[in-house]
């Protein structure tokens, strides 16, 4: 438990450091060095367009990240219309109830001491549980993080191909880049800054693939009306049309949340909280 609590603190700090490094590399290294075209008008210059795209992806990723970690157990416990079950939530918050007294689809996490309706899993990179309130923001966070990593990966490969005068047309070139770079780095033929960018390429690839996998798996569960916690515990869920399952998570104004980071708009949770 101590190791998990330590990971719950270290993982968010690690993600924020990676985000800061990515932002610095993109703005101060990749864009100034790779997008120079004097013949292009400043308004439609590749540097400006690529910078605007990266800032849009980064703002949505970090904005949804903040919204995922913003929720508190007090808000979840008081905002939900649980009826008689509200006493159970209060007892859980005071530590007087055991997990065995759980409400249907409700779970108390000992790591973050939060009561979550429709609990899905505990995310260490956000230090928070993912449930009914922040599920949509978690999916948007994974989506835009994977897109931002893909954008950084492409820009980084373009920078490395120009700096080292190499081509990535061969699919094996990227796979053999790291071992060749390590040997060149220790022989003194490769700068430390270039080696750092190469390491970041593989880090962006790993984070991007992981976030894309989380997003796709989560969408599949949502379409089926399930959560990871329900699947892990073998809970039986009521079969409903997939459109209703999507609307429960994304709400009717899903397009607004797709473009800008906002809390659940028009979802069942929002309507229940207003009551």
Is 123 tagged catalytic? yes
Candidate list 17, 109, 123, 142, residue with the active-site label = 123
What single string gives the DSSP state of each residue in the chain?
A: -HHHHHHHHHHHHHHHHHHHHHHHHIIIIIHHHH---TTS-GGG-HHHHHHHHHHHHHHHHHHHHHHHHH--HHHHHHHS--GGGHHHHHHHHHT-S-GGGPPTTEEEETTTTEEEET--EEETTTTEEE-TTTHHHHHHHHHHHHHHHHHHHHHHHHHHHHHTT----SHHHHHTHHHHHHHHHHHT-S-HHHHHHHHHHHHHHHHHHHHHHHHHHHHHHHHHT--HHHHHHT-------HHHHHHHHH-S-HHHHHHS-----SSHHHHHHH-
Active-site residues, by number, are 123
């Amino acid at each position: 438990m101590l190791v998990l609590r330590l990971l719950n603190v270290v993982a968010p700090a690690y993600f924020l450091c990676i985000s800061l490094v990515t932002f610095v590399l993109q703005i101060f290294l990749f864009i100034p060095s790779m997008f120079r075209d004097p013949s292009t008008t400043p308004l439609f210059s590749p540097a400006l367009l690529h910078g605007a795209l990266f800032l849009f992806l980064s703002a949505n990723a970090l904005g949804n990240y903040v919204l995922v970690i913003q929720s508190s157990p007090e808000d979840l416990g008081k905002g939900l219309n649980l009826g008689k079950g509200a006493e159970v939530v209060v007892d859980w918050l005071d530590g007087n109830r055991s997990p065995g007294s759980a409400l249907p689809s409700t779970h108390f996490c000992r790591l973050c001491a939060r009561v979550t309706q429709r609990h899905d899993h505990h995310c260490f990179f956000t230090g928070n549980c993912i449930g009914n309130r922040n599920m949509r923001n978690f999916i948007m966070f994974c989506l835009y993080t994977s897109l931002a990593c893909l954008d950084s990966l492409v820009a980084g490969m373009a920078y490395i191909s120009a700096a080292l005068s190499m081509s990535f047309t061969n699919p094996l070139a990227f796979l053999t880049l790291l071992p060749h770079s390590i040997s060149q780095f220790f022989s003194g033929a490769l700068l430390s800054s270039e080696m750092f960018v190469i390491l970041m390429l593989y880090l962006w690839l790993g984070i991007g693939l992981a976030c894309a996998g989380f997003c796709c798996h989560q969408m599949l569960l949502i379409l089926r009306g399930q959560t990871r916690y329900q699947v892990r515990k073998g809970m039986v869920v009521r079969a409903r049309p997939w459109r209703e399952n999507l609307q429960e998570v994304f709400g009717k104004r899903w397009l607004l949340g797709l473009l800008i980071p906002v809390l659940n708009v028009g979802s069942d949770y929002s309507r229940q909280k207003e009551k």
